[in-house]
Structure 1
Amino acid sequence: MTAGIVSDALPWFLLDRDSFPSFAYFVGGKFLRTLIQIASCCGSAGMCMAALHVKTFLVSGMAENRLVPKVLAKRSTKFQSPRNAALLTLVLMLALINLDFDSMLTMTNAYSAAVQLVIIAAIIKLRRELPYIARPTKVPGGIPVLYAIAVIPTFMFGYITFYALSNMVSAILMVAFFVPGVVYAGYRFYFRRSLA
């Protein structure tokens, strides 16, 4: 980076317009530029594979804990990698890769806000049902303060979700990912109640 800045004749405020391959070309010519381009492609592919690997094991762990269908927990006999979860994650990633970034961003922001609300709701539920178990952190004021803490995230979730639903693509994405989860949760709830 330093060599690129020294060798480049552009003013400093225009340096964000060129990439590392351009700097490599100014420093070491075509060979270094080609090497940096190959390294950039390998780095991007590695990040994609690492993301796929992490998401695969998350889905497999959820299947082992019966949060998603059990078929996603099936592992390969040779490598013990979650094969079905990997295929599902790969199919979803390939389906979403061509979508507009802004639509994806509003949808993921809405889901992230929902996750935070679910975490706060789980904290409140655990404090009510199991008040005497040891916890690593304590909220002063107890459950009323937890309810007060949840007010602002609830309004933010409502705003972000309304904004996400105003765009057709992100609204379709939210429904496409939300409905199967609700259907499966309803099935699990009904199945568990019928066993009792």
Structure 2
Amino acid sequence: MSPEIHSSQSLRPPPNGGQEPAPPSASAELPVTAPAPSASAKKLTLVPLIFLIYFEVAGGPYGEEPAVQAAGPLLALLGFSIFPFIWSVPEALITAELSTAFPGNGGFVIWADRAFGPFFGSLMGTWKFLSGVINIAAFPVLCIDYLEKIFSVFESGWPRYLALLLSNLSLSFLNYTGLNIVGVAGIVLGVVSLMPFLLMSLIAIPKIKPHRWVSLGQKGVKKDWNLFFNTLFWNLNFWDNVSTVAGEVDRPQRNFPLALFVAVIFTCVSYLIPLFAVTGAVSVDQSEWESGFHAVAAEMIAGKWLKVWIEVGAVLSAIGLFEAQLSSSAYQVLGMADIGFLPTFFAVRSKWFGTPWLGILLSCLISIGISYMDFTDIVSSANFLYSLGMLLEFAAFVWLRRKLPSLKRPYRVPLGVPGLVVMCLIPSAFLVVIMVIATKFVYLMSGLMTLGGIGWFFLMRFCKSRKIFKFSISDVEVA
């Protein structure tokens, strides 16, 4: 069933029962209908959805190498084998259940609103949007960093600044041409960027010495647990980002759970196979396992031609990550306008492609601004905000099970409320650890961004009360 926009009256249960009415939402104030998707917009089908999720989360094994540097081969292998069950699987299960129960753009914003009301829905939107657009800014920088190894002109000065600007604009234009185009591009980018790792792993087989897999690292090298856990977290999170495009998915009740299931397996395999191959075939100083070491290992295993291919693959992977996460942020803006958290003009779509061009433009402009900054600490702050959002998301998931037990859930996690609490407590404990080890600067930046989000909520409420802008009274249809 395709998600449609209806008056909030349509959420009342039918005479024969069926589901509980939705609780009051931020959208129930001014009588304006949210804009419907353009007729030219194509629905996202299963295979493109799988690759969109894949690029929301991973985009390839680029960036997994610091786990070896931090804790040695054995713990890195165990981390990428076990951590998906602690973090990725619970997050994917929650996304599957709530995205099929509320198949509308807005995703986690809708969930928090339904569970705890409009204030928390708006705060969730702030936390997730800011963390998303700051992450988006990293990918054009990564592209230029790899290109400068081939073309030194991009190392600094106006050529670098111009390249960052043009890469942001061109990649944003690709996103503007349609979510289905982004999904198809993701398939091509995924295949091309993963092929060199498959070849490297096959060529490495005769050189593998299994005893290297059980190494705890070099003697005298202290374990860097902060780097280790942050590497796992960075490489295996953002499963819920795809929920903000639920309204654009063909048959979401069927395709969402299946796509998430396949994407979890695909992501884990794409991390583990190269990691087993390189740790088993290459013996180097542990300190050399920095981001990008897979390219160095490829040259040691097969030659410079494979190193170049992996470096090119890194650029393609960064493009895929940019497109997937820009889509999530742009459709979150559209979804928040659809349900009344933002003025209706934020939900405007392109006449040609049906895409939320204002959401794309807003995300692109913020990304361009951050691209020129030294944003290491800001990215850490974004991760802190993302962690706050995830804690709220876990709480909303459990509370909705208790608050709306009869809500139709096309996919349902096969656990009762006590089991769900346990399932959510384990990753929540990890989030708390990540937040406790944050720096004072991160606490300060995250606090200021959160205060800004709270101020934004009251500003929007003031605009509604004074009728300064038009706000939707519509709600996305539940399953």
TM range (shorter): 0.5 to 0.7
1:105 aligned residue: 380
Contact 2:382 2:446 in 1 (8 A): yes
Q: Secondary structure at the match of 1:77?
A: coil
Contact 2:384 2:442 in 1 (8 A): no
2:145 aligned residue: none
2:358 aligned residue: 84
1:79-127 per-residue CA deviation (whole Å, 9 max, x = no partner) reads 1111111101111223334353334433553465367559858959x95
1:144 aligned residue: none
Q: C-alpha separation between the residues in 1 aligned to 2:320 and 2:366? A: 18
1:151 aligned residue: none
In structure 2, stretches of 5+ residues that fail to align are 1-199, 205-277, 410-414, 419-431, 471-479
TM-score (norm 2): 0.29
In the alignment, residue 55 of structure 1 is paired with which amino acid? S
Q: Secondary structure at the match of 2:303?
A: helix
Give % identity.
18
1:184 aligns with 2:460: yes
1:57 aligned residue: 331
Distance 1:24 1:54, change over 3 A: same
2:296 aligned residue: 22
1:145 aligned residue: none
Q: C-alpha separation between the residues in 2 aligned to 1:138 and 1:27? A: 50
2:112 aligned residue: none
Deviation at 1:189, TM superposition (A): 4.8
2:322 aligned residue: 48
Distance 1:61 1:42, change over 3 A: same
1:40-99 per-residue CA deviation (whole Å, 9 max, x = no partner) reads 111011101110012111211211222112111111111111111110111122333435
TM-score (norm 1): 0.63
Q: Secondary structure at the match of 1:57?
A: helix
Q: C-alpha separation between the residues in 1 aligned to 2:466 and 2:395? A: 25
In the alignment, residue 85 of structure 1 is paired with which amino acid? G
In the alignment, residue 463 of structure 2 is paired with which amino acid? Y
1:38 aligns with 2:312: yes
Q: Which one of 115, 120, 134 corresponds to residue 406 of structure 2?
A: 134
Distance 1:37 1:107, change over 3 A: closer
Between stretches 45-54 and 109-118, larger displacement belongs to 109-118
Structure with the bigger RCO (C-alpha within 8 Å, sep 6+) is 2
1:15-58 per-residue CA deviation (whole Å, 9 max, x = no partner) reads 63461110111123222111110001110111011100121112
Q: C-alpha separation between the residues in 1 aligned to 2:391 and 2:451? A: 19
In the alignment, residue 330 of structure 2 is paired with which amino acid? T
Contact 1:75 1:83 in 2 (8 A): yes
Deviation at 1:165, TM superposition (A): 7.8
Q: C-alpha separation between the residues in 1 aligned to 2:349 and 2:325? A: 18
RMSD over aligned Cα atoms: 4.0
Q: C-alpha separation between the residues in 1 aligned to 2:441 and 2:299? A: 45
In the alignment, residue 464 of structure 2 is paired with which amino acid? R
The structure with the largest helix share of the pair is 1
Distance 1:182 1:114, change over 3 A: farther
Contact 1:75 1:81 in 2 (8 A): yes
Distance 1:178 1:168, change over 3 A: same
Structure with higher Rg: it is: 1
Between stretches 50-59 and 183-192, larger displacement belongs to 183-192
Deviation at 1:169, TM superposition (A): 4.2
Q: C-alpha separation between the residues in 2 aligned to 1:45 and 1:20? A: 19
1:69 aligned residue: 343
Distance 1:138 1:189, change over 3 A: farther
In the alignment, residue 356 of structure 2 is paired with which amino acid? P
Contact 1:110 1:164 in 2 (8 A): no
Q: C-alpha separation between the residues in 1 aligned to 2:283 and 2:383? A: 40
Between stretches 96-105 and 61-70, larger displacement belongs to 96-105
Q: Secondary structure at the match of 1:93?
A: helix
Contact 1:63 1:70 in 2 (8 A): yes
1:139-162 per-residue CA deviation (whole Å, 9 max, x = no partner) reads 68xxxxxxxxxxxxxxx8xx98xx
Q: C-alpha separation between the residues in 2 aligned to 1:165 and 1:186? A: 32
